[in-house]
Amino acid sequence: MITPHLSFKEYRAIDARNWSSLKNYSKTPAHYLEALNNPMTQTPAMLVGSAVHCLVLEGVQAFDRQYIEAPEGIDRRTKEGKLAWAEFQEKATGREILTADQYDQVCQMWKSVMAHPTAGKLLAMADQRELSATWTDTTGIDCKARIDAYSEEHGLVVDLKTTAEADPKTFGRTIANFQYHGQASFYMQAMKKNDLPARQFIFICVEKVPPYAVACYILDDEALMAGNQLVDGYLSRHAECVAADNFPGYPAEVQTITLPAWA
């Protein structure tokens, strides 16, 4: 099922496996279970990334409803500062608070993405935003995915990434380290399992520091094949663990270990 306009809170409440949890099978099933039961606390970098996604994908009005810039110069150690901060929090009405530096960073990254000729064109083509997809895998596992942007006409799946460095060599390593190729395969499957075309997966990458450079990438066939293998392997492993009601850690026996090739 494809559900547009579902809030992130509603999406998170769906009882299904997403890529963020499944990729922990790259370590052990125990790591998967820990990540599922104890999600990572939001870091400042994650806050900025979420804010950039909101501004780029949902627009200024949605961004203003969800985020607010903190005033500068308030010393919360003083009585006056504590009172001023309390008044600001009341004004914030539950919105996520960005420091002045974070707010400026988010706005600069947004402007850079929207001004980029290819990224801007891709976002215009992929006119559907923040789609929530659910499906049942062949293993019987219920899955879900949150698609940044999608064009049914072009079979185009777009994913926005904030990154330290967007050059091809470094971002290639980032893809491998964070298993983004597996995410690409998982998201493509999300659309295909819902009988929607998915012919191309494209990353729009924007750097977190000036000049907030932007680059757009597709994966080669080898990377896509490797991503498919990750997805199939993790889902099969998950199905086995669910059936056995056992999510083991590392093997109990003593193992032989070798040095890495560079050593």
Residue in 144, 140, 145, 136 with CA at minimum distance from that of residue 242? 140
Asked whether residue 103 is assigned to any structural domain, the reply reads yes
Say what angle helices 180-192 and 221-244 make with each other, to 10 degrees. 80
* 67 shares its domain with 138: no
> Across all residues in the chain, what is the average pLDDT?
95
User: Per the omega criterion (within 30 degrees of 0), is the bond before 29 cis?
Assistant: no
Q: Which residues of 83-100 are buried (b: 16+ CB within 10 A; e: fewer)?
A: ebbeeeeeeeeeeeebee
Asked whether residue 151 is assigned to any structural domain, the reply reads yes
* 110 shares its domain with 229: no
CA distance between the termini of the chain: 49
* 62 shares its domain with 164: no
Among 115, 131, 162, give the residue marking a domain's end: 115
CB count within 10 Å of CB 152 equals 14
Domain range holding 215? 1-6+15-39+117-244
Model confidence at 40, pLDDT cuts 50, 70, 90, reads confident
* 54 shares its domain with 77: yes
Q: Tell me: the pLDDT tens digits for 83-139?
A: 888 888 888 888 999 999 999 999 999 999 999 999 999 999 998 999 999 999 999
Q: Tell me: the pLDDT tens digits for 247-257?
A: 999 999 999 99
* 32 shares its domain with 110: no
Count of domains observed in the chain? 2
> pTM of the full predicted structure?
0.92
Cβ pair 134, 16 in contact under 8 A = yes
Report whether pLDDT(80) > 90.
no
* 185 shares its domain with 237: yes
Among 115, 145, 179, give the residue marking a domain's end: 115
Asked whether residue 174 is assigned to any structural domain, the reply reads yes
* 98 shares its domain with 52: yes
Asked whether residue 182 is assigned to any structural domain, the reply reads yes
**DSSP labels for 198-218?**
--EEEEEEEESSTT--EEEEE
Phi, psi for 143 (deg, rounded to 5): -125, 160
* 180 shares its domain with 69: no
* 87 shares its domain with 30: no
Q: How many residues does the chain have?
A: 263
* 142 shares its domain with 78: no
* 1 shares its domain with 98: no
